[in-house]
Amino acid sequence: MGISHYIKEIGRGKDGARPLSREQATDLLGQVLDGTVTDLEVGAFCLAMRIKGETPDEMAGFLDAVRSRMNLVPGSGQPVVVLPSYNGARKLPLLTPLLAMLLAREGLAVLIHGTPTENSRIFISEVLEAVNIRARAAIECIAPSEVAYLPTEVLCPALKRLLDVRRVVGLRNPAHSLVKLMNPCIGKALIVSSYTHPEYAVSMAQTFELTHTNALLLRGTEGEVVADARRMPQMDAFINGQRQRLQEAQAGTLKDLPDLPKTTDAASTAAYIRSVMAGQHPVPASIAMQVEHILRLVKQL
């Protein structure tokens, strides 16, 4: 069938492009993920969406297409906290594993999924390896008090291929937003998601509302879902899509700043995480607050 007729609608520029319905978006991305379209069409789709931007209906349709092709994580009767990790560390240490380990210590089942998306940052797989959390090669239940890491290619190989288009064209595409919104679990789950720019906060919130998702949304650390250890960000909850403000942002830096590693390499980051878990360093206040909010939200599921 092809997707040229969709590209014609979304590729008319920022002002001339027309939005797709949820059903159209599902069909479009489904064809892309199934590999039934040409590389040229995939590139055109990615560039057109980058210029136009995604509507909530389009994102909902894209999520429908991904979920129907994903290897879903079976439920164990307990909610799973889902931490997507795709931005990595640029200037600040990658503390998403610390958030995961703190949640697991409280008895929660935690799923981290991610993959490297460029070559110049430290990514989740490197830090997890340094704290002895190995990537899983197969889909299994996640037990309470356990942190599991599933590379994107294990959850959905086609989605991994779409993410890798960035390495060729140099620009993000809808897949980079999808991975922060998707629920890879069959049972109850709380998606912890983050944004880097205010406009994404609006569109992501609208998508969570439209798809009746359980989520915590905040401006994280360089796009990662863990709260910036130097600041107290705004945090919004979504329970079955219903939004509530949990935490107001505090202006400026926190009064008591944590003694963070001076470099972002995996070994230094892992050493800091181990020291926090051992009580040798305090949990950064913003991350401790994020853990408290997540614990309260999980009880509502």
Worst-scoring range by mean pLDDT, 216-220, 237-241, 255-259?
Answer: 255-259
Question: Where, residue-wise, is CATH 3.40.1030.10 in the chain?
Answer: 80-300
**Closest listed residue to residue 225, CA positions, set 108, 114, 70, 151:** 114
- Give domain 80-300's CATH architecture: 3-Layer(aba) Sandwich (3.40)
Dump pLDDT digits (tens) for 70-119.
999 998 889 999 999 999 888 999 999 999 999 999 999 999 999 988 88
- Amino acid identity, position 35: G
Tell me the three state secondary structure of residue 300: helix
Within the chain, all domains assigned CATH 1.20.970.10 are found at 4-67
- R_g of the chain, CA atoms, integer Å: 19
Q: What is the pLDDT of residues 116-152, one digit of tens each?
A: 888 888 999 999 999 999 999 999 999 999 999 999 9
pTM of the model: 0.95
Q: What fold is seen in the domain 4-67?
A: 1.20.970
Instruction: State how far the Cα of 229 lies from the Cα of 220, in Å rounded to an integer.
Output: 9
DSSP 121-136: SB-HHHHHHHTT-PBP
The secondary structure of 17-50 as a DSSP string is --PPPHHHHHHHHHHHHHT-S-HHHHHHHHHHHH
- At 3-56, the pLDDT tens digits run 999 999 998 877 788 999 999 999 999 999 999 999 999 999 999 999 999 999
